Amino acid sequence: MKTTIIIGATSGIGNALAKRLVGDGYTVGITGRRTELLESLKAENPERFLVRTHDVTDVEGSINTLENLAGELGRLDLLVLCAGMGDHNELLDCAVERRAIDTNVLGFTAVVDWAFAFFQKQKHGHLVAISSVAGLRGHGFWPAFGATKAYQISYAQSLQHRAAKLKVPIFVTDIRPGFVDTAMAKGEGVFWVAPVDKAARQIHRAIVKKKKVAYITRRWRFVAWLMKRMPNFIYNKL
């Protein structure tokens, strides 16, 4: 039986993806900060979900949790990192930025490094990281979110390069959502907001196909293309 760990499964994309992967035959380890929400998800299929509570900003605790959960699963075919943080920060409050950095950089790095090392020792595995279209270009009202997502995009590319050099079947998928109907899609000017189930369906498809990069929903590929090519004098007026 296939096994996976989903980090950040309490709600949103992680929660919907956990249900979809159980339907695809996986035994799923679900983690997050809110135990009651994880237990509620487990109650839907007690035989196929394993629950662990942790916060990715607690680096040592996260690694211990993952080690124990992988041991209970017996093997690990897939790890999906959905946990993320980001807020509008027009006042450039460093405390707000720190929350994004602790989650999206420090916590992210600890988890993906552990997963890659685990897969390297196991000689196979699939790592999926949820970054964002926001990582393609800086934004004045949420600087740390965009910057930390750019870090994740670059780090995923680095791990893809590393896997290619190792010449073992380790796959790294960078999922870049636009706006999805979760707590993260807040503020003015949001558009093309995808239902969570639609986003989870497209992410599942990208996992099955072992894509290197997938935009969610797929129409965001056009926005990404435009963002990367738009001159600064136009972008800065948006």
| Digit-coded pLDDT (tens) for 168-186 | 999 999 999 998 877 655 5
Q: Is 183 helix (H, G, I), strand (E, B) or coil?
A: coil
pLDDT over threshold 60, residue 187? no
Q: Which strands sit side by side in the sheet containing 125-130, from one edge to the other? A: 49-53, 26-32, 2-7, 78-81, 125-130, 170-177, 213-216
CA distances for 142 relative to 88, 106, 148, 190, 226, angstroms: 5, 18, 10, 14, 20
When divided into structural domains, the chain yields a total of 1
pTM comes to 0.92
Contacts for 56 with CB less than 8 Å, ≥ 6 apart: 7, 8, 62, 83, 103, 107, 108, 110, 111
User: Which residue range forms the structural domain that includes residue 194?
Assistant: 2-235
Assigned token pair, 44: 């839907």
The enclosing domain of 39 has a CATH number of 3.40.50.720
Tens of pLDDT along 128-162?
A: 999 999 999 988 888 999 999 999 999 999 999 99
The letter for the amino acid at 145 is: F
